Structure 1
Amino acid sequence: MPQKNKLETDKISSLLVEFSIPAVIGMFVNAVYNIVDRIFIGNAPDLGSLGLAAVSITYPITLVMIAFGLLVGVGGATRFSISLGKKETTKAQHYLGNGISLAIIAGLSFTIIGNIFLEPILRNIGASDAVLPFASEYLSIILFGGVFQSLAMTMNNFARADGNPRISMISMMIGAGFNIIFDYILIMQLGWGMKGAAYATIGGQFLSVVWQLAYFTGKRSNVRLTLANMKLKLTYVKEILTTGIPAFLLQIANSILNIIINATLVKYGGDVAISVAGIITSSTTLIIMLISGIIQGLQPIISYNTGAGRVDRVKQALKLASIAAFIITTTGFLGIQLFPEFVVSLFNQETAVVSLGVKAIRIWTLGFPLVGLQIVWSNYFQAIGEVRLASFLNLARQLIFLTPLLLIFSSLFGLYGVYAAVPVADVIAFFVSFYFINKKLPRSRKKLL
């Protein structure tokens, strides 16, 4: 009789800690190095608020790159976990190999297409004449690292699904550590400006890929990567892409949303408002990254036990993850509301930026305590394979509700209407997700049994 996987036998609370803590640490470090990136840029004498605005303008493109990494990484890792739960090791090997191949294709596509149409893309997403040179210099280099980013994200998901969350955590820490150190060297010491920030970023991603490849081609991995399994097969490609659609759509929605926000902010507040949006995004992303860590730890537990038919363990894992997510977002909310000036001043100390930023960040985060629950619940449906519902719930907060609210509120209240639309959308998305998690969980139980 084959030995049972610990995902099916170990205590759920212990598993969630074992799988989520490394992911949370990794995502936290990942978020910190993005924040440090912006802190160095915002405080560099030759960059300042224009440098921050450039990063904000290029952020939607970065989100699209992340979207394709998650399409392959989350989709592949979910199918990988379910296959292991069903004791279908051969299938798991093919999901791993095909996932890596798709990640390479996605990364190369971004490098080629992005650099060919670089300036038109930046113009169309809101880069002003003052911001365009900074944004072009930064994004052109980031795009050349597209393969590294795509592979790093994909293999991080597979490492957790393979039962080794520490490998993923160390990968992100290696990348983040390199980025932080070389941000300081290249931006502050050598004066490389936006170019320095970009080189530090792709250098860290390259090291993460090297680490992950060493794991999956070595003896430590439970499922090993081979060239034979990297040959694309339509069945596996289709299942990977179909399963990863919710995570993909969430990031695409986030990208579209950022483009809309930037265009609205330029109209009502100019480059200063764009800089403030970059600060808010960085600050809130730090907290959202912690939720992402919990989700990444939760996914293999949910997916494996779905495949194994252990509904009791699925529900227990979901409950514990929901509690943890609520605590994290509530703590973040309190920190931002109590110390907004400190948060904003970390990134830039220009009077206009701090003055607008303090008011904006307080309004923006009013619905933040509910965000963690909404994200966990929507990703639960992805982990059990209910792709359509997961896609809808992932899109609800970022696109379906927020986009029309942005247009309506900004036309009524101007610049501050942009900020007020965010918490209203958060509250609506929470209640919609609450309705579906209560309605569909019993049905999911029947399907799992």
Structure 2
Amino acid sequence: MAKVSSDQLGTEPIGKLLIKQAVPASIGILVMSLNVLVDSIFVGNWIGSIAIAAINVVLPVSFFIAALGMAIGIGGSSIISRALGAENKEKALKTFGNQITLTLLVTISMVALGLYFVDDLIPAFGGKGTIFEPAKIYYTIILYGVPFLALCMMGNTVIRAEGKPKFAMIAMIIPSVGNLLMDYIFIYVFDWGMHGAAWATTVGYLLCFGYIFYFFLSKNSELKISLSHFGMNMPILKEIGSLGFVTLARQAVTSITYLLMNNILFNLGGEAMVAVYAIIGRMLMFALFPVFGVTQGFLPIAGFNYGALKYDRVKESIYTAIKYAALVATLVFIGLMVFPEAITSLFLSSREDLPAEELIANAFVLEHAPTAMRWVFAATPIIALQLIGAAYFQAVGKAIPALLLTLTRQGFFFIPLVLILPCFLGELGVWISFPIADVLATIVTGIYLRKEIRGLD
């Protein structure tokens, strides 16, 4: 693989550069999303739909701890991109060392707490009834691998900040492929059930960590840190924290959303309704992969050029990213509106010898999920502006507007809506909360972003 310099972020044409950054990011996110999707299909077909619901209960806890690594990664990577743009390599090195130290301290502490409170956390996130036992099995095993996942997510953002999107893509592909191979061996061949699903995912995390560790030791990375860079530097930690808190707050709100949704839907329709949301959640991760890819590709370009005071290139990157992301979001929207029944069927076993409760749950899911999917993705064509707008403020180090815009959709709009509307509209109230929140958040982001762009003139 050819050696790439971060300087190209400030010299290549924006359109070409965004494609170069976004395509590997999209491929990486696609493979990760396919991993989650196919993993759920395997679990649904080989274990059952209740197992899908059990995994959905565990995700917010494990994802929140892993998101600590992503928060530290994105917060620090914004500093690294701007430092490299300003030719301050020592600050970039110190930031990276502090990211590693902080990730280890925080995630190991959170894992210890997560294991101690396991019996309280799982029911709180909707793991009730027949969901509890498989959820506890999956949760306990997964948590041991989460620190490695956090380090992977942190390291991946740093690789991208260096302008090395192909290496970042490979780092995202490795755990996904590893997980699917282990799924087949542990679940299908060895018949380990939920234990197999959990160990397959954990092995994937370890493989990813091994690759990222190799990358930073190799000549491909510009960031060659020494022991002195691991020492805590309070100004850098404060900046990492303020910017990383944006990502952490987003994941915290996502975890709260899962908690609310799992409990609200359990009360409306039991375990099968939680399984419906589990399928919708998988599609939210999978279907929007190209939009998230454009957003990830946009971050280092905006941060580097802002640090280099090339504001015309910053503005051009905003407009180009929104245009590309809106185009792919519209294509995703069309596919989801046309094929929701076929998509839902992929997650359900066609075997007729399943236990009666599984057959009943499958029938319920097949009846309810397609309509829910259409409502949830109804505003997809306009979300590009909201995602790129929030990402811009994070990329350029403006923590407060980045935090506010990140929390706008789920925190300020979706959570109040999903608490209120189901009281009057039942199940429909849950699903229509999604597009209403998308529209309102996009309007607010558009106002903020327009004002910021004018200030770059």
* Maintained 8 Å contact 2:124/2:259: no
Residue number in structure 2 paired with 1:27: 29
Residue number in structure 2 paired with 1:358: 370
C-alpha displacement of 1:290:
2.8
Indicate yes or no: 2:408 matched with 1:396.
yes
CA distance in 1 between partners of 2:161 and 2:285 (Å): 24
CA distance in 2 between partners of 1:17 and 1:227 (Å): 36
More displaced 10-residue stretch of structure 1: 419-428 or 347-356: 347-356
* Maintained 8 Å contact 1:246/1:391: yes
Residue number in structure 2 paired with 1:7: 9
Residue number in structure 2 paired with 1:376: 388
C-alpha displacement of 1:26:
0.7
How is 1:11-410 mapped onto 2 (pairs within 5 angstroms)?
11-44=13-46, 47-349=47-349, 350-410=362-422
* Maintained 8 Å contact 2:176/2:204: yes
Secondary structure of the structure 1 residue equivalent to 2:129:
coil
1:245-298 CA distance string (max 9 Å, x none): 212211111111111111110111111110000000101211333322222211
What is the letter of the counterpart of residue 182 of structure 1? M
Indicate yes or no: 2:439 matched with 1:437.
no
CA distance in 2 between partners of 1:128 and 1:372 (Å): 36
Indicate yes or no: 2:432 matched with 1:420.
yes
**Number of residue-to-residue matches in the alignment:** 441
C-alpha displacement of 1:103:
1.6
What is the letter of the counterpart of residue 26 of structure 1? G
In structure 1, the gaps of 5 or more residues are: none
* Maintained 8 Å contact 2:6/2:163: no
CA distance in 2 between partners of 1:288 and 1:253 (Å): 19
What is the letter of the counterpart of residue 176 of structure 2? A
What is the letter of the counterpart of residue 262 of structure 2? N
1:75-129 CA distance string (max 9 Å, x none): 0111011111111000000011111111222321232111111111111222112
* Maintained 8 Å contact 2:66/2:147: no
CA distance in 1 between partners of 2:22 and 2:66 (Å): 20
CA distance in 2 between partners of 1:292 and 1:247 (Å): 14
C-alpha displacement of 1:207:
1.2
Secondary structure of the structure 2 residue equivalent to 1:26:
helix
* Maintained 8 Å contact 1:63/1:254: no
* Maintained 8 Å contact 2:389/2:449: yes
C-alpha displacement of 1:351:
1.4
C-alpha displacement of 1:4:
8.8
CA distance in 2 between partners of 1:8 and 1:94 (Å): 22
CA distance in 1 between partners of 2:36 and 2:264 (Å): 24
Q: 1:218 to 1:4 in 2, by over 3 A?
A: closer
CA distance in 2 between partners of 1:85 and 1:34 (Å): 35
Residue number in structure 1 paired with 2:356: none
C-alpha displacement of 1:42:
0.9
C-alpha displacement of 1:320:
1.2
* Maintained 8 Å contact 1:106/1:150: no
CA distance in 1 between partners of 2:213 and 2:85 (Å): 24
C-alpha displacement of 1:175:
1.1
CA distance in 2 between partners of 1:105 and 1:202 (Å): 20
1:139-193 CA distance string (max 9 Å, x none): 1111101211100000000001112111111111111110111111111221111
Secondary structure of the structure 2 residue equivalent to 1:309:
coil
Q: 1:4 to 1:73 in 2, by over 3 A?
A: closer
1:31-81 CA distance string (max 9 Å, x none): 11011111111111xx31210110111121133123212210100111011
CA distance in 2 between partners of 1:61 and 1:196 (Å): 19
* Maintained 8 Å contact 1:79/1:243: no
What is the letter of the counterpart of residue 60 of structure 1? P
CA distance in 2 between partners of 1:290 and 1:225 (Å): 33
In structure 2, the gaps of 5 or more residues are: 350-361
1:5-31 CA distance string (max 9 Å, x none): 111111111211111111111111111
More displaced 10-residue stretch of structure 1: 132-141 or 248-257: 248-257
* Maintained 8 Å contact 2:25/2:294: yes
What is the letter of the counterpart of residue 372 of structure 1? A
Percent identity, aligned pairs only, is 33
C-alpha displacement of 1:412:
0.4
What is the letter of the counterpart of residue 235 of structure 1? P
CA distance in 2 between partners of 1:110 and 1:333 (Å): 37
CA distance in 1 between partners of 2:151 and 2:186 (Å): 25
Secondary structure of the structure 2 residue equivalent to 1:131:
helix
CA distance in 2 between partners of 1:223 and 1:333 (Å): 40
* Maintained 8 Å contact 1:27/1:292: yes
CA distance in 2 between partners of 1:379 and 1:220 (Å): 27
* Maintained 8 Å contact 2:302/2:395: yes
CA distance in 2 between partners of 1:56 and 1:173 (Å): 22
More displaced 10-residue stretch of structure 1: 8-17 or 146-155: 8-17
What is the letter of the counterpart of residue 327 of structure 2? I
Q: 1:4 to 1:75 in 2, by over 3 A?
A: closer
* Maintained 8 Å contact 1:66/1:251: no
What is the letter of the counterpart of residue 413 of structure 1? L
Return the TM-score normalized by structure 2. Answer: 0.94
